[in-house]
Amino acid sequence: TTAGSTTRTVTARVAPLGSRLVLALVEDRTREKRVEEVRRDFVANVSHELKTPVGAIRLLAEAVHDASDDPEAVQRFASRMLTESDRLSSLVQQIIELSRLQGDDPLEMPGRVSIDDVVSAAVDKSATEAAAKDITLITRGDHDLEVVGSEEQIEAAVSNLVANAVAYSNAGSRVLVTAKSMGDTVQISVVDQGIGIPAQEIDRIFERFYRVDPARHRSTGGTGLGLSIVKHVAATHGGEVSVWSVEGQGSTFTLTLPLSSHSSTRLAGPLSVA
C-alpha cells in the first residue's frame, strides 16, 4: 500500500538504529493491518451467521401469527422457533467465547485443572444427546492428571470435541474419550465411529464457521465455531490439537496439553473403541 511504501523509503535514509525502529514500526503496522482484516472478516461472518436464525425466527413468528386458528400448525412452528432460538443462543455464546480467546488477555485465573474432572464434565454434557441416539460414551486411560490453565476453557474444548463426536456419529455407535500421559504432556483423545471427514476438507475444519456439510450441520444444530475454540484453547495453553479421520469410518481428535509437573499417573484399561 501507499502508506507502507512511503515508510519503507524513509527507512533507507535514516541511521541504523532509526531504521530498525522504523522497520519495527512497519512490521507492527502490517501486523495491525492483518489483525484488523481478521477482525473485519470475523464481524462479516458473524453478521451473516446471526442473520440466518434471526430471519428464521421472524418467519416462524409470522407463520404462528397467521396460523392462529390451526393449533397443530402453531405447535409445529413454535417448536421450530424453539430450535432456532436455541441455535441462536449457542451461536452467541460461542462467539463471545471465541472473541474472549482471541483477545490478548492473559488466562483468567490459571489454576490446576484436573483432567478427570474435565473429561467427566464433558461426557456429562453430551449424555442426553448420546442417549437419544443410543450412543455409548466410554472413558478410559490415566487418572489424576493435571494441567495448569483455565478449567472453563479446557472443559469447553473437550466438551466441543465430545459433542462433535456424538453429533457426527450414527445411532448405536460408541464414542471413546481417553486421557493418557505422554512424556510431559497429556493427550486427550476423542474417538468416534461416525461419518468421518473427507481428506480434502480436513485442513479447513478448524476455521471459524467452516463446516463440511452446511445442510447436515443445520440438523445437528452446530455453529461451525466449536473447533476454532478448541484450537484457540490449545494455543493459549501451549498445546495443540490434531485430527485423524477416515471418511465413513470415524474420526479421532487429540488435544495435547503440557502436563503440570505435579501430576501422577495410574494406568487403567486398554485403549480400544471396538
Q: Which residues bind ligand ADP (CB under 6 A)?
A: 160, 164-165, 168, 192, 194-197, 205, 210-213, 217, 222-228, 251
Tell me the C-alpha distance between 27 and 247, whole Å: 42
* CB-nearer residue toward ligand ADP: 42 or 78: 42
Instruction: Give the residues across from 240 on adjacent strands.
Output: 256
Q: How far is the CB of 120 from ligand ADP (least distance, A)?
A: 20
CB of 54 to ligand ADP, least distance (A): 18
User: Whose Cβ is closer to ligand ADP: residue 115's or residue 167's?
Assistant: 167
Helix (H, G, I), strand (E, B) or coil at 21: helix
Distance CA 268, CA 133 (A): 27
In angstroms, give the least distance from the CB of 103 to ligand ADP.
20
- 130 by Cβ neighbours in 10 Å (0-12 / 13-18 / 19+) ranks as buried
Least CB distance to ligand ADP at residue 249 (A): 10
Give the list of residues 6+ apart from residue 99 with CB closer than 8 angstroms, or none.
42
User: Which is closer to ligand ADP, CB of 152 or CB of 206?
Assistant: 206
| Nearest distance, CB of residue 59 and ligand ADP, angstroms | 22
Question: Closer CB to ligand ADP, residue 238 or residue 248?
Answer: 248
The least distance separating ligand ADP from the CB of residue 210, rounded to whole angstroms, comes to 6
Give the separation between CA 267 and CA 269, rounded to whole angstroms: 7
C-beta of 189: minimal distance to ligand ADP in Å?
A: 12
Pick between residue 64 and residue 197 the one whose CB is nearest to ligand ADP. 197
- Which residue has its beta carbon closest to ligand ADP? 222
Gyration radius of the chain over CA positions: 23
Burial class of 145 by CB neighbour count within 10 A (0 to 12, 13 to 18, 19+): buried
Q: Per-residue DSSP letters for 25-43?
A: HHHHHHHHHHHHHHHHHHH
Dist CA 224 CA 217 (whole Å): 8
Measured from the CB atom, the residue of 107 and 212 that comes closer to ligand ADP is 212
